[in-house]
Amino acid sequence: MSDTPTTPEERHRERMQRKKALVDRKIARATLDRGVLVVNTGTGKGKSSSGFGMLARALGHGLRCGVVQFIKGTFSTGEEAFFRRVGGELLDYRVMGEGFTWETQDRARDVAAAQVAWAEAARMLADPCYGFVLLDELNIALARRYVALEDVLAALAARPPRQHAVVTGRGAPDALLEAADTVTEMRLVKHAFQAGIKAQKGIEL
Amino acid sequence: MSDTPTTPEERHRERMQRKKALVDRKIARATLDRGVLVVNTGTGKGKSSSGFGMLARALGHGLRCGVVQFIKGTFSTGEEAFFRRVGGELLDYRVMGEGFTWETQDRARDVAAAQVAWAEAARMLADPCYGFVLLDELNIALARRYVALEDVLAALAARPPRQHAVVTGRGAPDALLEAADTVTEMRLVKHAFQAGIKAQKGIEL
């Protein structure tokens, strides 16, 4: 019992040492060096924002990056302006579609736009020059069967081994979750929209 | 019954029109024009990345932005390099602390660093020049009582009316969730780390 910590500082130090040892062991075990497939799904906010945050990170590390936005949200031009301005040569940024489908109300046009977007995405996923590919709201296109799930799974599985891919959107299909390395469900706890606050320029509520 | 849609295209169109009407009504009701307080919490990935994605959006809209990182993660220099380079005059970016607390194992030093970080955050939250303030991993500092919750709640409540604030980190205290306009819980479904994949340069797993 002689080495039992007695002060709060000692107890804190011991607790933190145990945590550090645990994390160090996990890091030592994590030896596979390859690109990861990340899926952000669920009904909460932050799925796309998180994807764009990862894009910033990838650009910060000098990776060549590709972005395909499968749904052009009416409030989401801010990131596009910013990333186009700063991404420069490192970034290919494609926006497909013409607003949410309930704005167009024309399924044939939606399908055609999604197919064009998917062709661009497939090109990026096959090109080892891209270190990071963000497929924003692809899950929506999958859920509406605008893009074939088997094509997406095949392209993701065959992508260059060091390439990272991020897929966002609610309702990710089970087979995509299965294929993913990291899956986060963004769960809506509370939304400013529900409280009657207007969509704000400069932020995603 | 004469106006019952008969083709898939008509049914799609009618469904989308109903959705659009619903969204339009919600937008019409959302008339409060003010800054929002967003909290990203939970044990999943994407809390910080989403905050940085919102930062990109805010910069894209030309808002003056402040960032305080309360925990300097060992893998998170990518965003900093990127945003410092591109934010220019619009961005104040402060990184506090010296790595995760289990790296330092010195509670007194952690508390001192968090207090310096909080003073900087409080300055931004009181300054109407800032249109967007990101307090990254503040919840961690709150959970460890490095920063007083009542100080944080008071500063958030008293901030300029048009200023947006985003607080990230697992374990957000209930009173902060109560005060927030939008809350997302990032739920961990699957993590590449668990599958033995190394931390990847250029991406948050």
User: Quick one: pLDDT at residue B151?
Assistant: 97
* CB-based contact A49 B47, cutoff 8 Å: no
Count: domains in chain B: 1
Q: How confident is the model at residue A170 (pLDDT cuts 50, 70, 90)?
A: very high
User: Quick one: pLDDT at residue B113?
Assistant: 86
* B133 lies in some domain: yes
Q: What is the CATH number of the domain that holds A105?
A: 3.40.50.300
In degrees and rounded to multiples of 5, residue B29 shows phi and psi of -75, -20
Residues of A in contact with B27 (CB under 8 A): 198-199
* B149 lies in some domain: yes
* B16 lies in some domain: no
The span from the first CA to the last CA of chain A, in angstroms, equals 54
Sheet with strand B91-95: strands edge to edge: A91-95, A65-69, A132-136, A164-168, A37-41, A182-190, B182-190, B37-41, B164-168, B132-136, B65-69, B91-95
Q: Would an 8 Å CB–CB cutoff place B28 in contact with chain A?
A: no
Residues of B in contact with A8 (CB under 8 A): 107
* A16 lies in some domain: no
**Does the structure show a pLDDT above 60 at A75?**
no
* CB-based contact A186 B185, cutoff 8 Å: yes
* B94 lies in some domain: yes
Q: What is the mean pLDDT of residues A51-75?
A: 85
CB-defined contacts A:B, below 8 A: 292
Domain of A179 in residue numbering reads as 33-195
Per DSSP, what are the bridge partners of residue A133? A66, A165
* B2 lies in some domain: no
Residues of B in contact with A47 (CB under 8 A): 46
Q: Would an 8 Å CB–CB cutoff place A28 in contact with chain B?
A: no
pLDDT tens, chain B, 205 aa long: 445 667 877 887 777 777 767 666 655 554 456 899 999 999 988 999 999 999 988 998 889 999 999 886 644 666 787 888 888 899 999 988 655 454 566 788 888 888 999 999 999 999 999 999 999 999 999 998 999 999 999 999 999 999 999 999 999 999 999 999 999 999 988 876 555 555 555 454 4
User: Quick one: pLDDT at residue B31?
Assistant: 46
User: Quick one: pLDDT at residue B169?
Assistant: 94
Cα separation, A27 vs B53, in Å, equals 27
* B14 lies in some domain: no
From chain B residues 118-137, the ones with a CB under 8 A of any chain A CB are: 131-132
* A92 lies in some domain: yes
CA B57 to chain CA mean position, Å: 12
Cα separation, A17 vs A23, in Å, equals 10
**Does the structure show a pLDDT above 80 at A15?**
no
**Does the structure show a pLDDT above 60 at A175?**
yes
Residues of B in contact with A16 (CB under 8 A): 101-102, 104-105
